A and B are shown apart, each in its own frame.
Chain A
Amino acid sequence: MAVYDHGYRGYGGTLMPARSRFLVISRYGLRDVFASRLFLAFFAFCFAWPLVLLVGMYLRYNAEALAVINISAADLLDFVQVNTWFFESLFLRAQLYLAFVVVLVVGPSLVSADLRNRAMPLYLSRPLTRTDYVLGKLVVLGVLVAAITWAPGLLLFAIQAALGGGEWLAEHWRVAPSLVVVSTVWMLCMSLPMLAIAAWVKWKPWARIVFLGAILSGTAFGEFYKQFYDSWLGSMVVAFDVTAVLSSSVFGTEASVQMPGAAAWLAAVGLVALSAALLYRRVRAFEVVK
């Protein structure tokens, strides 16, 4: 049917695979996110710190460049130790703060508008399940978080491995999978609650406020519990503590927070399960009023 032929006709062409249909939602979501110049500028800023670290790593192994800027190699070697701490605390911790902003900004816009404008019947009347819908939205946040956490992290790791040689790689191989695991678990722990809140609140600014409120009130309650009962149980609702312990357990470093690794994992899994359940209650074609 050409544009000039105003008659109805069916479609008999090829079809895309059903299993990867959720990626259509992700693709459109990512394109919408990057349509904002402000977000694009912020996203570019997210690569500033990895770039600084990259320059530092490069200088450590480049005596000529150090000479140009008048720094001795010994000073820099002392100052920048490229080890597990470098990747876990110096790189990843900073990037996770930026990723938090990304989740806070992008998360609510992914689902709240769909629910507010009753778009769910349109999605779900197609060969798409609720899981596909959630997965499609989650992939948007997953890609964004990955792009500023483990993707540059792995790049830094690869460059350092090339510069440091086999000995360094043999000693620090665990860093690479740890970057991916911690970033992904953190992404799930932040993104699913954000999506769930956005699905219930349906209004972006409120969703952000509720999300921040939940994190702050959890932190306040957890700190109070820790002080009052002198127990690590309070840390289970403190996002910072859970992240720190999870990260330490994966990277194999010593945690700065007194909480068993299993408890941190339990808190993370519980949060993800609760968020998924809340999200699934909301992501429906229609609401039944009993």
Chain B
Amino acid sequence: MTGTAATGGEAQKQAAGAPPPVIDLDGLSVRFGRHLVLDDLRGAFSGRAIGLLGPNGAGKTTLLNTLLGFSRPAAGTARLFGMDITAQGRELRRRVGYMPERDAFIAGISGVRFVRLMAELSGLPPEAALERAHEVFFYVGLGEARYRNVETYSLGMKQLLKLAQAIAHGPSLLFLDEPTNGLDPPARLRMLRLIREIRDSGKARIVVSSHLLRDVEECCEEVLVLNRGKIATYCNLAEERRANRRFLELDLGAEREGAGSAFLGAIEGLGCEVAVVNRRRIKAVLPPGIGVRHIYASAIEQDVTIRRLDYKRTSLEDIFLKAMEGDDGRL
């Protein structure tokens, strides 16, 4: 694990007076029947906006479901703002807003009534809930459609409606599951802008689960990558960017069988971190003291042609690809 994540449970031991981490995973495991979906997750995450990434079936939605109390941990536990998800679930859910991935609404009522109901269920008195419902409708840009029946909303409007119900009660933690699903480009940009605004307001921490790297990169500061139910990596995107570690992107042409693998071994031997994009393309991070000339020297040594070499700053894609690498070096 990289970045600012502390070991699970260590949040408890942090200096007195320091605010507890947003999410503290303490050996969290979740099992559906015989299938272990989340396997001993540990880590404390404190970012303003945390991106939850991973391929399909990695356990992203299960992690959100578990943090929301929908699934019971098979082992371990998790804490949000220092509160245990099982022991203090009801109190926690008062402070949490959730935007589910799939279509979810209450049929037969107007948008503003739907959001008002959701706010009331979170504990707001009826008058305050009505006021907030109107406010969030204008905030997400659906003000004109607030009296329409929710079933008549388009897909993009339903996404905004889900966001509206998630923020109506002013949560301090917002779980957004695939918030840009099915949105056209302008609607997607609008959704991302809203997420960034909420993040920058400092009133709510955000966890965005998505398989779209670009979306996460645009609105998250920290990224937690899951793979096969385990934490593959955790990093602070802002720190990564600040560190300005320069990446090289290389397109290779191997003259003989096995030359490519030998070249990879050689530059790894130089201390480079290497991620394989495909058979012809690799990305490498140069350690201090190693320059491009060393890479060219290795290429000549291993009989490999470098067809293209670009400097490339760390992108989320690189982090993700690196995290997804299997034991055999392939994706």
CB closest residue in chain B, given A10 = B170
Of B20-28, B73-81, B106-114, B265-273, the one touching chain A: B106-114
* Binary A-proximity of B103-128 (CB < 8 A = 1, otherwise 0): 11111110000000110111111001
Pick from A24, A124, A290: contact of B32, CB under 8 Å: A290
* Binary B-proximity of A226-268 (CB < 8 A = 1, otherwise 0): 0000000000000000000000000000000000000000000
Instruction: Indicate if the CB atoms of A129 and B90 lie closer than 8 Å.
Output: yes
Instruction: Indicate if the CB atoms of B33 and A290 lie closer than 8 Å.
Output: yes
Instruction: Indicate if the CB atoms of B90 and A127 lie closer than 8 Å.
Output: yes
Instruction: Indicate if the CB atoms of B94 and A127 lie closer than 8 Å.
Output: yes
CB closest residue in chain B, given A116 = B107
Within 8 A of A (CB), among B5-41: 32-33, 35
Pick from B65, B106, B124, B172: contact of A114, CB under 8 Å: B106
Instruction: Indicate if the CB atoms of B204 and A10 lie closer than 8 Å.
Output: yes
With A11-B132, A119-B104, A285-B70 in contact, is A125–B124 under 8 Å at CB? Answer: no
Instruction: Indicate if the CB atoms of A11 and B109 lie closer than 8 Å.
Output: no
* Shortest beta-carbon distance from A37 to chain B in Å: 15
Any A CB within 8 A of the CB of B98: yes
* Shortest beta-carbon distance from A105 to chain B in Å: 15
Pick from B104, B120, B171, B203: contact of A118, CB under 8 Å: B104
* Shortest beta-carbon distance from A182 to chain B in Å: 33
Pick from A18, A126, A284: contact of B70, CB under 8 Å: A284
Residues from chain A with Cβ under 8 Å of B301 in the complex: none
Pick from B128, B172, B197: contact of A13, CB under 8 Å: B128
Instruction: Indicate if the CB atoms of A3 and B105 lie closer than 8 Å.
Output: no
Within 8 A of B (CB), among A112-126: 113-114, 116-119, 121-126
Any A CB within 8 A of the CB of B190: no
Of B133-141, B227-235, B243-251, B283-291, the one touching chain A: B133-141
With A113-B108, A114-B106, A286-B65 in contact, is A123–B121 under 8 Å at CB? Answer: yes
Any B CB within 8 A of the CB of A25: yes
Measured between alpha carbons, how far is A233 from B317 in the docked complex, in Å? 69
Any B CB within 8 A of the CB of A1: yes
CB closest residue in chain A, given B92 = A127
Within 8 A of B (CB), among A6-20: 6-16, 18
Residues from chain A with Cβ under 8 Å of B139 in the complex: 1, 6-8
Any B CB within 8 A of the CB of A173: no
Instruction: Indicate if the CB atoms of B103 and A8 lie closer than 8 Å.
Output: no
Any B CB within 8 A of the CB of A93: no
Within 8 A of A (CB), among B162-184: 165, 167, 169-172, 175
CB closest residue in chain B, given A113 = B107
Measured between alpha carbons, how far is A118 from B70 in the docked complex, in Å? 14
Residues from chain A with Cβ under 8 Å of B124 in the complex: 11, 13, 15-16
Residues from chain A with Cβ under 8 Å of B299 in the complex: none
Measured between alpha carbons, how far is A8 from B169 in the docked complex, in Å? 11
Any B CB within 8 A of the CB of A128: yes
CB closest residue in chain A, given B170 = A11
Instruction: Indicate if the CB atoms of A1 and B70 lie closer than 8 Å.
Output: no
Residues from chain B with Cβ under 8 Å of A12 in the complex: 170
Residues from chain B with Cβ under 8 Å of A15 in the complex: 94, 123-125
* Shortest beta-carbon distance from A262 to chain B in Å: 38
Instruction: Indicate if the CB atoms of A125 and B98 lie closer than 8 Å.
Output: yes
Measured between alpha carbons, how far is A224 from B123 in the docked complex, in Å? 53
Residues from chain A with Cβ under 8 Å of B132 in the complex: 11
* Shortest beta-carbon distance from A153 to chain B in Å: 32
Residues from chain A with Cβ under 8 Å of B2 in the complex: none
Measured between alpha carbons, how far is A288 from B65 in the docked complex, in Å? 12
Pick from B100, B108, B122, B125: contact of A126, CB under 8 Å: B122
* Shortest beta-carbon distance from B252 to chain A in Å: 43
Residues from chain B with Cβ under 8 Å of A3 in the complex: 134-135, 138, 143
Instruction: Indicate if the CB atoms of A288 and B32 lie closer than 8 Å.
Output: yes
Instruction: Indicate if the CB atoms of A11 and B169 lie closer than 8 Å.
Output: yes
Any A CB within 8 A of the CB of B294: no
CB closest residue in chain A, given B105 = A117
Residues from chain B with Cβ under 8 Å of A13 in the complex: 124-125, 128
Pick from B93, B172, B203: contact of A127, CB under 8 Å: B93
Measured between alpha carbons, how far is A69 from B69 in the docked complex, in Å? 68
Pick from B122, B138, B170: contact of A9, CB under 8 Å: B170
13 additional A-B pairs beyond A13-B124, A15-B125, beta carbons within 8 Å, are A7-B201, A8-B201, A10-B170, A10-B203, A11-B170, A15-B123, A16-B120, A16-B123, A21-B121, A118-B103, A122-B100, A122-B106, A126-B118
A sample of 28 cross-chain residue pairs with beta-carbon separation below 8 angstroms, ordered by A number, consists of: A6-B138, A8-B198, A8-B204, A10-B170, A10-B171, A10-B203, A11-B128, A16-B123, A16-B124, A21-B121, A21-B123, A116-B107, A118-B102, A119-B105, A121-B68, A121-B100, A122-B165, A123-B121, A124-B68, A125-B97, A125-B98, A125-B100, A126-B118, A127-B90, A127-B94, A128-B121, A129-B90, A288-B33
